Homo-oligomer: A and B are copies of this chain.
């Protein structure tokens, strides 16, 4: 996996990626024996708000969105997860977050009780749980940062760069999620996301071939927009 050079020192996505990579590799061994493999079709609900928090998951393939549904009908997407990411572990007894398959995907489901039991005797397991939590925390903080950005274009640019890193594509990226998903992740409307994309296209910053296949023409320009 290629490590992209960080563009701005402030948040260091490169560091985040390095952390994530290290943590993934350390994660595999002790947990892999415990879980059960699950397949979820595109659009299917993996777990829902209100359910008991007896399981958590690791993505083997595909993309997952973790979100909450608000009283006013809006949907807030907290994160997109790709292969190697874990999600669905919560402190309380009842889930606050839902998770859905953005694409068909294959997961490993772990029993929370079992892992917590393991953690009591095996320090590497408890360390992994801690690292998982801190990793999620770091991601959530990056998301806060994204949401607090002023302009729509800045948000979209930051999103594209983040996603490019997550998928490590050369300079083309495939967006598996809809514009609505992106909008709900960035706290914008579909229209604003679309307009920003079109603007980037006019600027020759990106090139679209189909709404979900993007070629980065001028990464520096994107990074400047992020500012």
Give chain A's interface residues, CB within 8 Å of chain B: 8, 10-12, 15, 19, 68-72, 76, 78, 89-92, 94, 96-97, 119-120, 123, 126-127, 129-131, 133-138, 140-141, 143-145, 147-148, 187, 227
Contacts and interface: CB of A to CB of B under 8 A. Distances in A.
Given A70-B10, A130-B133, A92 B15 contact: yes
Nearest to A11: B96
Contacts of A12: 92, 96
A156 to B, nearest CB: 15
B136 A126 contact: no
Contacts of A123: 119-120, 123, 126
A87 to B, nearest CB: 11
Contacts of A140: 137, 140-141, 144
B76 A145 contact: yes
Copies of this chain, complex-wide, total 2
A186 B23 CA distance: 32
A137 B123 CA distance: 22
A72 B148 CA distance: 13
Given A140-B137, A148-B187, A227 B8 contact: no
Contacts of A89: 134
A133 B136 CA distance: 9
26 contacts: A10-B68, A10-B69, A10-B71, A11-B68, A12-B96, A71-B227, A72-B227, A76-B145, A76-B148, A90-B138, A91-B135, A91-B138, A97-B141, A119-B123, A119-B127, A120-B123, A123-B126, A126-B130, A130-B133, A136-B137, A137-B140, A140-B141, A140-B144, A144-B147, A147-B187, A148-B187
